[in-house]
A and B are shown apart, each in its own frame.
Chain A
């Protein structure tokens, strides 16, 4: 065991420091971060970390790595004005402007609107495709993205770009830095529209400048609001229209409270942006009072996964019906939808019936 422990510490000191940094804010992290950092510092002169970094870079070069930012960094040309091959490539790309108008300093709203609408998009021009990026965490990865991609596969006017990753969020950039990863995930793609579903992992505290900010505290809200604003500015850079899909109600009451708080921050920021809209999914997957609902009103269509967090395919399908009609509106419909701020999207009840019919099931009643 001694040999194992000694070699592990020698080879993995950087990895252990990284693991400690990734831990949830708490006692274990408080102890582990300085301890592993001290070990890593002590072993730094031996240069083992270079071996590790070199190996990871080589793995990225041969297509083994799944770390988009590292792949982008190692494949970037060495001599030019922009990205450089020291790992800062994506960071350089990601430094989009963050106008104060994006709501970073606006007081957080007390509540979010239950019913929201999508500002109409013009029809896709003949012979062209609308590039749609799907961004976010598992709220996008599970259910929603699959449904959107399946439906969009039948529409030659839409092209989907995947820019989501489960287990991520905006609360812990030291664990997963979206400001670095998103541009790397996009590569050369320039989306016209970005659909965002993110925040399910953000109900936790974080550390800023060595100070722990508890979830929901004033300091936490301020920093998180800024991060949402930065993220929104980044995904909207280049003129992309952004639809920020709000977090649906959750089964666990305490978790639902956290997600409601995150929705308020996101809504505050997004509603200040002229090219972004915060879209509440509650009228599709919540009950009449806007609470969590696992099954459709009649109980025969499951709307949520067994975890009580993510959307089932059927639940996601209710949202995608509306989103796809918005993304690729029929030419005539866009003229009909003359009311400002109102997209020609089906009502939730119509969407349930439509999706159930498509799946060969009886439409949910009521």
Chain B
């Protein structure tokens, strides 16, 4: 079920009404949300419900074992993580692995004939596997204080607002929410509505228009476009992927909020970042912190000297790239991000006084922003291109003079909104929220309906799936 559809709207309204009517009966409330989450997932393809259920039950059992085990909880954690990663590898990486194995094999002799068919990638498998690992990891670290209950663990892994594309919740932060009954008086309804409307606007209007009118044509046939068009498309993809993914998570956070649950923020105006570290504190925050806590820190983090820190950073980002997709272009994207982080660390160690002075100037802040944005855009080219050939063609075409034929008024408008909108102060949204809070309830509902209608009318005739669904 896609968020920007009538089906989801009807589903969510029904779930909202029933869930709150059951709020006084926590067990029924949570049981209903669990069933609703499985309905939500099964709406796409019910054949993968057993996989979701199996992973959830397995991770909950292991988490319980870890909590009870006094002698060797690490063994249980290792088993749990290995099984979860094996499931992910089977669905996501087996074809990629075999393909590359045969390429290497072919260099030494005729490779064997393998009639391999990849399994259909279950929607959101990367996300629910990460949730399962988080459940076990948080229990191992003692961050989950209360004994894990099976029902709560199932809901944590499958809770529908975050099931398909995050944000990646921490068990240690979500399970305590399930332990207390939800109080409707403490819900920031207007914030939830604003997040949903804003998320829909970003996805349905900005992301979709940029995708269909600018990014897809150029990345399909870069050689047909001038440097101006290609540059615009690269900027367009930067805006598209931000609006697509942050739009999804805004809707997810808003829906969870209306149901009484708090999700962590996943984006904080990432293109206003001034250095790579700052960028990763603002972009897909739930993934970057997950990778930091469950990969970078266990590798040693920055505790084992400079060289080891750089190696750990590179490894973390390379694996982060591979998590996004079974392809070498994603690995290169991850490698670039790791390279940026390492370069920034090296640059930060420069203590030459003119450099120190330069860093303190306001001009340098903007120079850094521009430099970082373009470095990020270079990474996006690999992320978006279907092959290295296309990526390099995009770079080559940047040097070709010519007019920007795709720069129509609507495209330029949504591109500006997608990029410059990140510089809008957050207090604006807070002011709107406060102002809406003064309105009668009926008027607030009507205003929200008007906003949804406007988005529907302004949106394209068909809505593309979210980019992050494939991960």
Contacts of B112 in A (CB 8 A): 299
Q: Does B437 contact A (CB under 8 A)?
A: no
Give A203 Cβ to nearest chain B Cβ, in Å.
16
Give B322 Cβ to nearest chain A Cβ, in Å.
15
Contact-size category for A: 35 or more
Q: Fill in one digit per residue for B208-235: 1 if any A CB lies within 8 Å of its CB, else 0.
A: 0100110000001101100000000000
Contacts of A105 in B (CB 8 A): none
Q: Does B176 contact A (CB under 8 A)?
A: no
| Given A3-B442, A55-B457, A59-B458, A295:B99 Cβ within 8 A | yes
Instruction: Report yes or no: B221 in contact with A146, Cβ–Cβ below 8 A.
Output: yes
Q: Does A237 contact B (CB under 8 A)?
A: no
Instruction: Report yes or no: A150 in contact with B445, Cβ–Cβ below 8 A.
Output: no
Which residue on A lies nearest to B98, using beta carbons?
A299
| Given A153-B221, A299-B111, A306-B121, A2:B445 Cβ within 8 A | yes
Q: Does A67 contact B (CB under 8 A)?
A: yes
Instruction: Report yes or no: B110 in contact with A251, Cβ–Cβ below 8 A.
Output: no
Q: List 28 A-B contacts (CB under 8 A).
A: A2-B445, A3-B441, A3-B442, A5-B449, A6-B445, A6-B446, A7-B450, A8-B449, A16-B6, A63-B410, A64-B458, A66-B461, A149-B221, A150-B220, A150-B221, A153-B223, A167-B462, A287-B115, A294-B117, A295-B116, A299-B98, A299-B102, A300-B111, A302-B99, A306-B121, A308-B117, A308-B120, A359-B387
Which residue on A lies nearest to B325, using beta carbons?
A306
A77 to B224 Cα, complex, angstroms: 32
Per the 8 Å Cβ criterion, residues 269-297 of B in contact with A are none
Contacts of B343 in A (CB 8 A): none
Query: Which of A145, A150, A167 has the largest count of B CB atoms less than 10 A from its CB?
Result: A150
Contacts of A66 in B (CB 8 A): 209, 212-213, 460-461
A365 to B106 Cα, complex, angstroms: 9
Instruction: Report yes or no: B116 in contact with A313, Cβ–Cβ below 8 A.
Output: no
| Given A64-B458, A167-B462, A366-B113, A149:B220 Cβ within 8 A | yes
A293 to B116 Cα, complex, angstroms: 8
Contacts of A287 in B (CB 8 A): 115
Which residue on A lies nearest to B16, using beta carbons?
A1
Per the 8 Å Cβ criterion, residues 405-461 of B in contact with A are 408-410, 441-446, 448-450, 452-453, 456-458, 460-461
Given A167-B462, A313-B387, 7 further pairs, Cβ under 8 A = A6-B449, A59-B457, A66-B461, A149-B224, A153-B223, A298-B106, A298-B111
Contacts of A149 in B (CB 8 A): 220-221, 224
Instruction: Report yes or no: B103 in contact with A300, Cβ–Cβ below 8 A.
Output: yes
A4 to B445 Cα, complex, angstroms: 4
Which residue on B lies nearest to A3, using beta carbons?
B445
Which residue on B lies nearest to A28, using beta carbons?
B7
Contacts of B446 in A (CB 8 A): 3-4, 6-7
Which residue on B lies nearest to A314, using beta carbons?
B387
Give A291 Cβ to nearest chain B Cβ, in Å.
9
Contacts of B99 in A (CB 8 A): 295, 299-300, 302
Which residue on A lies nearest to B107, using beta carbons?
A362
Give A70 Cβ to nearest chain B Cβ, in Å.
9
A295 to B100 Cα, complex, angstroms: 12
Q: Fill in one digit per residue for A126-168: 1 if any B CB lies within 8 Å of its CB, else 0.
A: 0000000000000000000110011001100000000001110
Contacts of A55 in B (CB 8 A): 457
Q: Does A11 contact B (CB under 8 A)?
A: yes
Partner of A67, one of B6, B114, B461: B461
Q: Does A125 contact B (CB under 8 A)?
A: no
Q: Does B118 contact A (CB under 8 A)?
A: yes
Which residue on A lies nearest to B193, using beta carbons?
A4
Partner of B117, one of A4, A292, A300: A292
Q: Does B17 contact A (CB under 8 A)?
A: yes
Q: Which residues of A pack against B, CB within 8 Å?
A: 1-8, 11-12, 15-16, 19, 52, 55-56, 59, 62-64, 66-67, 145-146, 149-150, 153-154, 165-167, 251, 287, 292-295, 297-300, 302, 306-308, 313, 359-362, 365-366
Instruction: Report yes or no: A63 in contact with B457, Cβ–Cβ below 8 A.
Output: no
Contacts of B221 in A (CB 8 A): 146, 149-150, 153
A329 to B116 Cα, complex, angstroms: 36
Total cross-chain contacts (CB, 8 A): 132
Contacts of A15 in B (CB 8 A): 453, 456
Give A230 Cβ to nearest chain B Cβ, in Å.
22
Give B268 Cβ to nearest chain A Cβ, in Å.
29
Give B242 Cβ to nearest chain A Cβ, in Å.
21
A306 to B95 Cα, complex, angstroms: 9
Give B230 Cβ to nearest chain A Cβ, in Å.
13
Instruction: Report yes or no: A63 in contact with B408, Cβ–Cβ below 8 A.
Output: yes
A8 to B457 Cα, complex, angstroms: 13
Give A231 Cβ to nearest chain B Cβ, in Å.
19
The 4 nearest A-B residue pairs measured at CB: A3-B445, A7-B449, A4-B445, A3-B442
Which residue on A lies nearest to B114, using beta carbons?
A299
A149 to B114 Cα, complex, angstroms: 32
Query: Which of A12, A145, A167 has the largest count of B CB atoms less than 10 A from its CB?
Result: A12
Q: Does B389 contact A (CB under 8 A)?
A: yes
Q: Does B13 contact A (CB under 8 A)?
A: yes
Q: Fill in one digit per residue for B376-397: 1 if any A CB lies within 8 Å of its CB, else 0.
A: 0000000000110100000000
Contacts of B445 in A (CB 8 A): 1-7
A361 to B100 Cα, complex, angstroms: 12
Give B159 Cβ to nearest chain A Cβ, in Å.
21
A362 to B386 Cα, complex, angstroms: 19
A63 to B411 Cα, complex, angstroms: 10
Which residue on A lies nearest to B103, using beta carbons?
A300
| Given A3-B443, A294-B116, A300-B103, A313:B449 Cβ within 8 A | no
Q: Fill in one digit per residue for B99-137: 1 if any A CB lies within 8 Å of its CB, else 0.
A: 100110011001111111110110000000000000000
| Given A15-B456, A59-B458, A150-B223, A297:B113 Cβ within 8 A | yes
Instruction: Report yes or no: A4 in contact with B98, Cβ–Cβ below 8 A.
Output: no
Instruction: Report yes or no: A154 in contact with B457, Cβ–Cβ below 8 A.
Output: no
Q: Fill in one digit per residue for B80-108: 1 if any A CB lies within 8 Å of its CB, else 0.
A: 00000000000000010011001100110
A66 to B443 Cα, complex, angstroms: 32
Contacts of B17 in A (CB 8 A): 1
Partner of A11, one of B102, B118, B450: B450
A293 to B352 Cα, complex, angstroms: 60
A128 to B450 Cα, complex, angstroms: 53
Instruction: Report yes or no: B442 in contact with A12, Cβ–Cβ below 8 A.
Output: no
Which residue on B lies nearest to A64, using beta carbons?
B410
Give A163 Cβ to nearest chain B Cβ, in Å.
14
Give A282 Cβ to nearest chain B Cβ, in Å.
16
Partner of B118, one of A4, A6, A306: A306
Contacts of A297 in B (CB 8 A): 113
A320 to B17 Cα, complex, angstroms: 53
